[in-house]
Structure 1
Amino acid sequence: MKVFKLILFLLLIFLIGGSIYFASKDGNYDIKESKVIQAPASLLFNTVNDYKTWEHWGPWKKEDSTMMFTYLKNTVGVGGGYSWDGDFPGNMKTTNAEQDLSIEQDLAIVTPGGERFSKVYWEFTHTKTGEVRVSWRTTGEHTLMDKVYFAFSSMDFDKDMRAMYTSGLEGLASHVRGRMDEHTVTIKGVTEYGGGFYVYKTTSASGSNISSIMGQNYGEILQYMNQHTVSQAGMPFTIYNEMNSNGTVIMSNAIPTQNKVEIEGESTLLSGYIPRTKTVLVTLKGNYTFLGNAWDEGMKYLSQYSLIQSDQKPFEIYTNDPGQFPNPADWITEIYIPIQ
């Protein structure tokens, strides 16, 4: 009996000493991973800021396919949140958000060692090359039982979390790129374009530099119009004077005006007029890189219905401003192909 009591006493001493030892060990963690992603900061921010997107790119479901998600009425911004059931149930809620710059969240996860609470931080930083560095960070403190478990198991919490965050950032990049590549082409059929006056500049370009040349031309036109108090009467458009099989074009970049503009002084700009015109209208919703597909669909439509192009040159109108629509999938371009 004395031996049994001694064993119990030693065991109690061991447990008390072990508890003191593990309680005194530093259980704080601060883990951060980053990835440079070629996408608009606002699109990346808005994706992370809405918990309904997380199951599409988050890393947890890859580890636990049984996870089931429950969303609060609000899933976006401060106060938004969601929860999940699975091997490690938990919940997350947004506590602070600064548009396109940062997000702060509270994370709670139920582990075998008890409920673990963490702070989560997101940062979206522009790089010199125009990309965005997305940083995902978590801080917190392990429970006593977690510290005991990590001491006697092969689990490396820091390493596993870094791998999970790396996987999540790669998933975020892939998800956002997929959203940016979404596009639709719609054949609106035969319609009339109302016509009107415009100021334009004609240049040649190739597929590799057409975007930059367009930007320069529109900048020059807008500068002239501002200096001479000429009002813009519509969205910018491009008239294609020649479209060659080698990918080069001769184009006139134009901005509509209320009336005919008499160009003053020495200038490469000219004033033009499009009469009321019968056309085939094709609409692209998506990145300008898919305009070739839209043009191909338009030409197929002409062939299918035996429609013949007129001598008037085709043109495309950029109906919304990319500066106000960060996701290229939301850009809308109208293609007008004049017909006889």
Structure 2
Amino acid sequence: MLKTVLLSLLAIIVLGIVVVLALAARKPDSFQVTRTTTINAPPERIYPLIADFKAWSAWSPWEKKDPAMKRSFGGPETGAGATYAWAGDKNVGEGSMRIVEAKAPERLSLKLDFLKPFEAHNDVVFSLAPQGSATTVTWTMTGPTPFVAKIMHVFFDMDRMVGGDFETGLAALKAAAERPA
């Protein structure tokens, strides 16, 4: 009787693992998270808040999650080649960013490398499109999804996990850019 129960339990566990692996295999090989907002300011006012990593303290949602995190900056102050590295608590992890393309005031591309809590290498693009006296700002992150990450994506939706932070960051960017000078 005990042997039958244990074998049944083992069969259920194995079946569960097979189902998770099958679902993971069907996940896409890459992911994309995108959020957009309209800011009542010209691109020339918004772009410096994105192109200078030291200005991120005014709007980045991760800056607020761990105010005690260690930060370091390198390269030029703004634009291509500027770097930012951080090491913080479990809310922000550890990693670095490097600006790889700076096309003021319409586009900024970053290489984003996470070391902790897990290693990941992603691309980030900020696009700024004038719309009359306002600007549409789009924040996009893309990256590969290796099989281990696909297993995680069976249980966690990357868009929901990161999208909320993007929305918070864009709202703070809007507030900073619309603040009277």
Which band: TM-score by shorter chain?
Answer: 0.7 to 0.9
Task: Specify which of 145, 148, 154 is matched with residue 145 of structure 1.
Answer: 148
Off by >4 Å, runs of 4+ in structure 1: 14-21
CA, structure 1 residues 67+145, in 2 after alignment: closer, same or farther (shift >3 Å)? farther
Q: Which is further off, 63-72 or 75-84?
A: 63-72
**Cα offset, 1:46, TM superposition:** 1.6
Q: Is the 8 A contact 1:75 1:82 kept in 2?
A: no
**Cα offset, 1:20, TM superposition:** 7.2
| Percent pairwise identity | 22
Amino acid aligned to 1:94: I
- Which deviations, in whole Å up to 9, do the C-alpha atoms of 1:205-254 show, x marking residues without a partner? xxxxxxxxxxxxxxxxxxxxxxxxxxxxxxxxxxxxxxxxxxxxxxxxxx
Alignment of 1:1-340 (within 5 A): 22-23=24-25, 25-86=27-88, 87=90, 88-112=93-117, 114-128=118-132, 130-152=133-155, 155-178=156-179, 180-181=180-181
CA, structure 1 residues 169+78, in 2 after alignment: closer, same or farther (shift >3 Å)? same
**Cα offset, 1:159, TM superposition:** 1.4
For residue 135 of structure 1, give the secondary structure of its aligned residue in structure 2: strand
Cα distance in structure 1, aligned partners of 2:71 and 2:25 = 34
CA, structure 1 residues 97+47, in 2 after alignment: closer, same or farther (shift >3 Å)? same
For residue 96 of structure 1, give the secondary structure of its aligned residue in structure 2: strand
For residue 119 of structure 2, give the secondary structure of its aligned residue in structure 1: strand
For residue 79 of structure 2, give the secondary structure of its aligned residue in structure 1: coil
For residue 45 of structure 1, give the secondary structure of its aligned residue in structure 2: helix
**Cα offset, 1:149, TM superposition:** 2.7
- Which deviations, in whole Å up to 9, do the C-alpha atoms of 1:19-62 show, x marking residues without a partner? 67635532421121111111121121122111111122101123
Cα distance in structure 1, aligned partners of 2:21 and 2:63 = 34
**Cα offset, 1:177, TM superposition:** 3.0
Amino acid aligned to 2:161: D
For residue 62 of structure 1, give the secondary structure of its aligned residue in structure 2: helix
Specify the structure having the higher radius of gyration (Cα): 1
Cα distance in structure 2, aligned partners of 1:20 and 1:80 = 42
Cα distance in structure 1, aligned partners of 2:140 and 2:19 = 34
Alignment RMSD: 2.7
Q: Is the 8 A contact 2:33 2:158 kept in 1?
A: no
CA, structure 1 residues 18+169, in 2 after alignment: closer, same or farther (shift >3 Å)? closer
Corresponding position of 1:285: none
Cα distance in structure 2, aligned partners of 1:73 and 1:26 = 35
For residue 82 of structure 1, give the secondary structure of its aligned residue in structure 2: strand
Q: Is the 8 A contact 2:23 2:154 kept in 1?
A: no
Cα distance in structure 1, aligned partners of 2:25 and 2:43 = 42
Cα distance in structure 1, aligned partners of 2:37 and 2:19 = 43
Return the structure number with greater relative CO, CA threshold 8 A, min gap 6.
2
**Cα offset, 1:82, TM superposition:** 0.4
Cα distance in structure 2, aligned partners of 1:169 and 1:161 = 12
- Which deviations, in whole Å up to 9, do the C-alpha atoms of 1:172-220 show, x marking residues without a partner? 1222233x43xxxxxxxxxxxxxxxxxxxxxxxxxxxxxxxxxxxxxxx
Cα distance in structure 1, aligned partners of 2:55 and 2:101 = 18
What TM-score comes out, normalization by structure 2 length? 0.79
Amino acid aligned to 1:110: L
Amino acid aligned to 1:51: F
Mark the runs of 5 or more structure 2 residues left unpaired by the alignment. Answer: 4-10
- Which deviations, in whole Å up to 9, do the C-alpha atoms of 1:62-84 show, x marking residues without a partner? 33344221111423101111011
